[in-house]
Chain A
Amino acid sequence: MTTPTEVENPRSEPAAAADFFAVNSIADASVSTGSATTKVLGWLTLAGLVVLLVFAFIISPEDSRETADGAIIGQFDAVRLLYLHVPAAVFAYVAFALTGLGSIIYLWKRSRWWDHVAHSSAEIGVVFCGVTLLTGVIWGRPVWNTWWEWGDVRIVTTLLLFLIFVGYLAFRSVPSEPRRQARNASVLAIIGALNIPVVNRSVEWWENRTLHQQSTLEELKIEDATLLTLMIGFAVFGLMFLWLLIHRFRVAWLAEEVEQHGLKQALRRRREEAQREAMVS
């Protein structure tokens, strides 16, 4: 990752309190979470998105092939939705895996840095997961002739994963003691991440049939343009994920800064109060 890696455990430096107050020049503060790196990243993402759209709608062919008995089958134009659906799904899973990883490291090292990574990643994961479900439903209608298929393992697993992390975010949105929240949220995230394989297995055993492409790449009768478009999709979503993660992380970091600032002021006020009282008596 880029710049924010320099920041290690912002909580563990109460000693810097004094000069922080001396500066206190909030008026000329910056007004965004952007930096040179993220600007480049952002433009690259947007440019990539345009390229992706061009490839998805114009260059890549529609999915159709002839079976042995002469019928023409395939997803036809609907395949173009997969260039959004598949990368979003993959990076939703990546995001949740990162949340699980960040939570484990948080419990181990107790550095708020990793807690912010976990929280940020979960939020992005929920957005991507929502997009996955939405496009999946829209794609299923023309191709499977049904909006939703309970017999399908991946779609059910993904919905559950979505709900688990919606719950995680709901937990995090309730204001409470910050360290306890971070600790308990980490536990929730780890359980949630561990649930993925369990849910997946159980849904698969549940109904031993599945509509889903066993492996999307295999089924898509890999034509060069199709594969290339999918790869572009992965690249664009990778950049997008990184951009979102960095910005969201900085939001979390700023929120903690504000909290720390409030804490230091509260501490100062409280000490003044103590001194005043001592003077009186």
Chain B
Amino acid sequence: MTLLLALFALTHAGYLAAGWSIGLLAIGAYALSVLVRGRALSKRVPLSRQRWMNSLPDEDEQS
């Protein structure tokens, strides 16, 4: 255990692990929140107005 701690101190592994995990977790959490917000909102909007669903005809194109 102490050896592991010493190794951490020597190689900066603790800083590395903390930096990478906090950084990636933050971005991941944000991405998730965007997806959740999108899901909640898209339930309230008709399919015809979600144009990135490119399988659907773009009926509002003319207007």
B residues less than 8 Å from A142 (CB atoms): 12, 15
Q: How far is B60's CA from A25's CA once the two chains are assembled, in angstroms? A: 15
Give the CA-CA distance A80 to B38 in the complex, in Å. 34
In the complex, the answer to whether A134 meets B44 with C-beta atoms within 8 Å is no
- Other-chain residue from A2, A6, A13, A254 in contact with B45 (beta carbon distance below 8 A): A254
Q: Is A33's CB under 8 angstroms from B45's CB?
A: no
Residues of A contacting B23 in the complex (Cβ-Cβ under 8 angstroms): 84-85, 88, 131, 134-135
**Are B45 and A26 in contact (CB-based, < 8 A)?**
yes
Chain B residues with Cβ below 8 Å from A240 are 27
Instruction: Name the interface residues of A1-55: CB closer than 8 Å to any CB of B.
Output: 2-4, 6-7, 13, 15-16, 19-20, 23-26, 28-38, 49, 53
Which B residues are in CB contact (< 8 Å) with A244?
A: 30-31, 34
What per-residue 1/0 map shows which CB atoms of B26-52 lie under 8 Å from chain A?
A: 110011001101110111111111111
Chain B residues with CB under 8 A of A36? 54
* Residue among B19, B31, B46, B54 with the highest chain A CB neighbour number at 10 A: B19
A-B contact count (CB 8 A): 144
Known contacts A3-B51, A30-B53, A33-B38, A23 near B15 by CB under 8 Å: no
Q: CB-nearest residue of chain A relative to B55?
A: A36
- Residues of A within 8 Å of B, CB-based: how many? 60
Whether a CB of chain A sits under 8 angstroms from the CB of B63 is yes
Cβ A35 vs Cβ B12 within 8 A: no
For chain A, residues 264 to 280, give those with C-beta under 8 angstroms from any C-beta of chain B: none
Main SS of chain A's interface residues? helix
Give A6 to B44 CA distance when docked, in angstroms.
21
Write the chain A residue with the least CB distance to B44: A258
Q: Which B residues are in CB contact (< 8 Å) with A6?
A: 51, 58
Minimal beta-carbon separation of A108 from chain B (angstroms): 24
The verdict on B18 contacting chain A, using a C-beta distance below 8 Å, is: yes
Give, as a whole number of angstroms, the nearest-CB distance from B11 to chain A: 5
Structural contact, A30 and B27, CB atoms closer than 8 A: no
Q: Main secondary structure on chain B at its contact with chain A?
A: helix
A78: interface (CB < 8 Å): yes
User: Other CB < 8 Å A-B pairs besides A19-B59, A257-B41, 14 of them?
Assistant: A6-B58, A16-B60, A20-B49, A32-B42, A49-B24, A57-B16, A77-B11, A127-B26, A138-B18, A243-B31, A244-B31, A248-B34, A250-B52, A254-B41
Of the A-B pairs whose beta carbons lie under 8 Å apart in the complex, a sample of 18, sorted by A's number, is A3-B54, A4-B51, A25-B48, A26-B43, A30-B42, A30-B47, A33-B34, A38-B52, A77-B16, A84-B20, A85-B19, A141-B15, A243-B31, A244-B30, A247-B38, A251-B37, A254-B42, A257-B45
* Chain A positions near chain B (C-beta within 8 angstroms): 2-4, 6-7, 13, 15-16, 19-20, 23-26, 28-38, 49, 53, 56-57, 76-78, 80-81, 84-85, 88, 124, 127-128, 130-131, 134-135, 138-139, 141-142, 240, 243-244, 247-248, 250-251, 254-255, 257-258, 261
Residues of B within 8 A of A (CB): 11-13, 15-16, 18-20, 22-24, 26-27, 30-31, 34-35, 37-39, 41-54, 58-60, 63
Nearest 4 pairs between A and B by C-beta? Answer: A33-B38, A254-B41, A35-B52, A138-B19
